[in-house]
Amino acid sequence: MPYEWLPPSKNYEPRWPGRLVEKIDLENGLVLEIWDYSRRLAGDRWLVGMLAQIVVEAPPEAFSRRELYEVFCDEEEGKVYYRYRKERTFVDERECEALFEQLKSRFLEAALNYLSHPSFKERLIAAEVALYERRKAWEEQVKQKDEEIERLEEEWKDRPI
């Protein structure tokens, strides 16, 4: 899986620094952060990277079980994220700033109305919590199957085949 740059947090430190370029207060009360995580690749060639992010606290009532919410808080700090990432590689050093501004302006032109919709927060929470709960259910199924395999291996280890 390729490396995806994320902003620093309490539990995460990125491989290379980025900078918060802009915070935009949306009409629905959310805050859109625009991050520049561009870096030099080789010589005068750069990776130009833009990350747009909205951070939302997930309430306990969004989860089907209180235990899942507590695990979610431990693992994800109680937050769900909208993230949009756009990158260009091997960009001439002289073109980096202009390309970043172009990526940012095209994103804002296309997505600002969608992100500002009054129900965006509720839909984001519902979608991300559902994904998280499905992932946890899958992890539990895998754990149970592994335990069953271990039990069967132990039970059959001394039997002739």
DSSP structure class, residue 41: E
Residue 7 is assigned to a structural domain of this protein:
no
pLDDT of res. 10: 80
12 pLDDT tier (thresholds 50, 70, 90): confident
Residues 20, 7: contact at Cβ < 8 Å? yes
Residue 10 is assigned to a structural domain of this protein:
no
161 pLDDT tier (thresholds 50, 70, 90): low
Residue 149 is assigned to a structural domain of this protein:
yes
pLDDT in tens, 100-138: 999 999 999 999 999 999 999 999 999 999 999 999 999
pLDDT of res. 157: 86
- Cα dihedral value 129, 130, 133, 134, nearest 10: -150
Residue 129 is assigned to a structural domain of this protein:
yes
Token digits of residue 47: 């990776």
Query: Which residue segment(s) compose the domain that 56 sits in?
Result: 19-156
What's the domain count of the chain? 1
pTM above 0.95, yes or no: no
pLDDT in tens, 63-92: 999 999 999 999 999 999 999 999 999 999
